[in-house]
A = this chain, B = another copy of it.
Amino acid sequence: MHIRCQQEILLESVNTVLKAVSNRTTLPILECILIQTKNDKLVLVGNDLELGIESTIASDILEPGYVALEAKIFSEIIRKLPNEEIEISVDENYMTTIRCHNSKFQIAGQSGDDFPELPKVEKLHGVTLPQPKLKDIIRQTHFSIAQEETRPILTGALMQLKDDGLNMVTVDGYRISYRHTDLSIENDNVNVVVPGKTLGEISKILSTEDTDIVTIFFTDKHVLFDLGSSTVVSRLLEGEFLRYEQSFSSDYETKVLIDRNALLLSIERAALISREGKKNPIKIQLTSDKMIITSNTDLGTAREEITASLDGKDLLIAFNPKYLIEALKAIDDDQVEIYFISSLAPCIIQPVKGNDFKYLILPIRLSA
């Protein structure tokens, strides 16, 4: 193999596929980036067998071929080179020479023959949306993916095509995040669970330009995100996801309309006193157009008061402040509505406009 390409372009591509390179593995080939010529393009691939990313860039192909290079040292070299033309040549023993301006590196590569191919995913009935929108959807749901492996299916996010759009739902046993996005869909029979790690990594490579689009294709076993110059393929998680729909009841006894940012800051302050999280909940008291938040631990006490527009009964309820903080941060709107049934039932937080986001949070039982 012998190619030439621009440093800046190669570096972006390397950074993209790095997201799928395994850090610790028993299979050393997975710590490599595969570099291969394909017609007049250069294709880079990272693949940790759960997640695979392929990136295609313009390149001057002097001699076709392929090589697998240890991702860490290769990416560090490309990152440190100046933005000029880089020349890469590989000899018959996979010894790889990288030249740029007055720099020359030689590193031992290996045959790419053992490098696992990306799963083939048929591109049928894809759904298309702007990349920043998918980035938002992930940001607004990713935080409540279960961290523990006790129910492996909950370490992923449910993606559904239904109700004329895409639903993304995450559940960690104490809360549910739901986000609906209206989209034109050709297939409303999709119900898959995508690993949390896949969504975290893809979120990092999604663009913030509204004109950049992503098309998502689903099969029984895999999901493919086509970003144009790069393609992300991930295995799906197998199993039955939580039937979340019935949890979002529309009944309520108490409804509160409140300034999102004021509430967020007050909870963050009260949480300073309940550093231990779940063991030291914060208490919320709703009464006559006020929300009073209190916290009381060995460290001391905190009391916050916020104006709120109350509809229904007075209420006293307690929460792990972390769950409220994360839900309130995920919402962009200025005001939120919170629906309560009782001090033992979950509350539902949502922006004032529409049903596109819903966050359900379980309370903590108050000791008498």
Q: Is A324 positioned at the interface, with any CB of B under 8 Å from its CB?
A: no
Please provide the chain A residues from 287 to 335 with a CB less than 8 Å away from any CB of chain B in the complex.
299-306
Q: Is A121 positioned at the interface, with any CB of B under 8 Å from its CB?
A: no
Asked if B105 and A273 make an inter-chain contact with CB atoms under 8 angstroms apart, the answer reads: yes
A104: contacting residue among B102, B265, B302, CB under 8 A: B302
Number of copies of chain A assembled together: 2
Q: Is A77 positioned at the interface, with any CB of B under 8 Å from its CB?
A: yes
Q: Is A242 positioned at the interface, with any CB of B under 8 Å from its CB?
A: no
Asked if B80 and A268 make an inter-chain contact with CB atoms under 8 angstroms apart, the answer reads: yes
Q: Is A239 positioned at the interface, with any CB of B under 8 Å from its CB?
A: no
Asked if A272 and B80 make an inter-chain contact with CB atoms under 8 angstroms apart, the answer reads: yes
Asked if B300 and A73 make an inter-chain contact with CB atoms under 8 angstroms apart, the answer reads: yes
**Cα-based distance from A102 to B294 in the complex (angstroms):** 12
Please provide the chain A residues from 159 to 190 with a CB less than 8 Å away from any CB of chain B in the complex.
none
Asked if B305 and A108 make an inter-chain contact with CB atoms under 8 angstroms apart, the answer reads: no
Please provide the chain A residues from 258 to 273 with a CB less than 8 Å away from any CB of chain B in the complex.
265-266, 268-269, 272-273
**Cα-based distance from A301 to B73 in the complex (angstroms):** 11
Name the residue on B nearest A275 (C-beta): B73
Q: Decide yes or no: A105 and B300 within 8 Å by CB, A73-B272, A77-B272, A272-B73 being known contacts.
A: yes
A103: contacting residue among B104, B108, B303, CB under 8 A: B303
CB-CB nearest 9 A-B residue pairs: A107-B300, A102-B305, A104-B303, A106-B301, A80-B269, A76-B272, A106-B300, A105-B302, A103-B304
Q: Is A228 positioned at the interface, with any CB of B under 8 Å from its CB?
A: no
Chain B nearest CB, measured from A122 CB (Å): 41
Please, which residues of chain B bring their CB within 8 A of the CB of A272?
A: 73, 76-77, 80, 105
Q: Is A341 positioned at the interface, with any CB of B under 8 Å from its CB?
A: no
Q: Is A64 positioned at the interface, with any CB of B under 8 Å from its CB?
A: no
**Cα-based distance from A301 to B96 in the complex (angstroms):** 10
Residue-wise, chain A 248-289 has the 8 Å CB interface mask toward B (1 for contact) of 000000000000000001101100110000000000000000
**Cα-based distance from A269 to B302 in the complex (angstroms):** 53
Please, which residues of chain B bring their CB within 8 A of the CB of A103?
A: 266, 269, 302-304
**Cα-based distance from A82 to B81 in the complex (angstroms):** 46
Please, which residues of chain B bring their CB within 8 A of the CB of A76?
A: 272
Asked if A304 and B102 make an inter-chain contact with CB atoms under 8 angstroms apart, the answer reads: yes
Having A105-B269, A107-B300, one finds 18 other A-B pairs with CB under 8 Å, namely: A73-B272, A73-B273, A73-B300, A76-B272, A77-B269, A77-B272, A80-B272, A82-B265, A102-B304, A102-B305, A103-B303, A103-B304, A104-B302, A104-B303, A105-B272, A105-B301, A106-B302, A107-B299
Please, which residues of chain B bring their CB within 8 A of the CB of A303?
A: 103-105
Residue-wise, chain A 94-124 has the 8 Å CB interface mask toward B (1 for contact) of 0000000011111110000000000000000
